[in-house]
Amino acid sequence: MKIACVGNMNNMMFTLCRYLRDRNIDSHLFTFADEAEHFLPEADSYTEDFRNFTVNLPIGKDDLFNSYKIAAVKPLFSGYGFIIGTDVAPALLALLGLKLDVFIPHGSDIYAYPFPVYNDKSTNRIWWLKSAYFIGRIQKKGIRNTQNILFPDEYENNYPYKKKLAHTGPFFNTSGPMLYIPQYHSPDIEQHFKKLKYHDLFVGLRKAYELVVFSHARQNGTNLPENLAVHDKGNLNLIEGFAKFIKESNVNACLVLFEYGMDVGSAKEQVALLGIGSRVKWMPKMQRKEIMFGIRNADIVCGEFKNSWLTCGVVNETLALGKPLLHYRNNVLYKADYPELYPLLNARTSLEISDQLKRFVGDKEKINILAMQGTAWLDTFSVKIPVDLICSFIEGKKNNTLLSFKEHIHISLIKSGFKIRLLVAKLNAKLKR
């Protein structure tokens, strides 16, 4: 059976496609014509192999109302017996008269797209608003017709959407894999890194500073309205915490930030106000394969410091390389669903951030060893369990059978548990030396 993975926001479908192909499943990636440049396969791969299984669709989000383009796209899906998608894939499939077997949302495609806000009639005449309303209606229809949805329950806490969707199929408290971990641990990865555009820049920072603190989260968090508060990354807490750490220690440290997000200007003003401009290194928005090399050369990688998230892009990228993660996580929210959580330097306020930086400096070896457990956790809960689940969907469609989610997780944990226990035992042995 041929498998289609549609859309590539956050490189999710590209990653999933690669894992499925590793299992000898004939999977192909379909990218939209308007994918963001940093979410193209070439932004997340060090080779050109993806071109052998990638189809570039002649349609994007703003073209979905174009009946001629829809007609041109439909033949491209001929012969595919199972379709997985993200972003506006549900809308596209609905317009093609097809059903999505698995929907793996990235966020707003499930809690915002299907619920467009209607303004007064004069405003609604603007073409892009009309397009948004059209997409919203079709997206909701496509989601309702989707067989299975993989999306973490924690999003429902911030964006109640399930009742409004009226989806009759099952929701699974997981998501698809976001990173293809094997490529970062391949024997030839160092040779690939040397060819990167920003290789010398990150190597230079590593040589110049004793401590490199790396944060590639978006600069969001200043004057956000209540309906957008969940997008607050807590960046200002990080900047203030780093400034406090610098003033109270003699460590030659730098903070790497990215010119990416709604509040870059406010973040730069805060840096200047605190007098730490010489210790903050601003980077342009760049591809994941570049960012991963930056993480490789950092001591600590930062997540978010306002809202608690178990997994997200910056967290997963950190865990994939086994780096110490400085991030806010409310453990109470996740213990019921996860038998174990990955290690981290848990902090939210500027004081907590400063204290955790001091803690790291005082106990680098132990914290670095503990951080290595994060890769095993990610491989189990963000790769093996969801990929096993998707494979069970594929087999279920072939054989008309399907395990419950609890049965599936139980079997996956049994299969992978020995691997995790063995790694933890080795790490604990190192800590006791």
Tens of pLDDT, residues 157-195: 777 888 888 888 889 989 999 999 999 999 999 999 999
List all residues 6 or more positions away from 427 whose beta carbon is below 8 Å from its beta carbon.
Answer: 369, 370, 372, 373
pLDDT at 127: 42
pLDDT for residue 337: 86
Look at residue 377 in the predicted model and tell me its pLDDT: 95
Note the pLDDT of residue 166.
85
Q: Which amino acid is at 285?
A: K
Retrieve residue 373's tokens. Answer: 């457990």
pLDDT of residue 126: 44
What is the structure's pLDDT at 247? 96
DSSP annotation of 177: -
Instruction: Find out whether 345 and 325 touch, Cβ atoms under 8 Å.
Output: yes
Whether residue 311 contacts residue 341, with contact meaning beta carbons closer than 8 Å, is answered with no
Chain centroid, CA 35 distance in Å: 16
Q: Does domain 2-172 have CATH number 3.40.50?
A: yes
Out of 3.40.50.2000, 3.40.50.150, 1.10.150.120, 3.40.50.300, the CATH code matching 181-331+344-362 is: 3.40.50.2000
| Structure confidence at residue 261 (pLDDT) | 87
Q: How many CB atoms sit inside 10 A of residue 160's CB?
A: 10
The residue among 229, 343, 227, 216 whose CA lies nearest residue 292 is 216
Q: pLDDT value at position 428?
A: 53
| Cα–Cα dist 337/350, whole Å | 29
398: β partners: none
Q: Residue count of the chain, please give it.
A: 433
Closest CA to 314 of 244, 257, 372: 257
What is the helix (H) or strand (E) element at residue 33, kind and residue range?
Answer: none
Sheet holding 102-103, edge to edge: 54-56, 27-31, 2-6, 80-85, 102-103, 148-150, 171-172
**Any idea which residue has 């419950």 for tokens?**
404
Contact 323, 298 (CB under 8 A): yes
Q: Is 68 exposed, middle or buried (0-12, 13-18, 19+ CB in 10 A)?
A: exposed
| Interval 375-402: pLDDT, tens | 999 999 999 999 999 999 999 887 765 5
Q: What are phi and psi of 106, to 5 degrees?
A: -100, -15
Report how far residue 34's alpha carbon sits from residue 60's, in angstroms, rounded to the nearest whole number.
Answer: 5
Domains 2-172 and 181-331+344-362 share a fold: yes
pLDDT of 148: 94
Mean pLDDT in runs of 10 for the chain (433 residues)? 96 97 97 94 96 96 89 95 96 95 94 78 49 84 94 82 87 93 94 96 97 94 70 92 96 96 91 97 96 98 94 94 97 90 97 98 96 95 95 86 51 48 50 52
Look at residue 414 in the predicted model and tell me its pLDDT: 47
Q: Check residue 106 and give its pLDDT.
A: 93
For residue 402, what pLDDT is reported? 52
Domain residue spans of the chain: 2-172, 181-331+344-362, 378-432
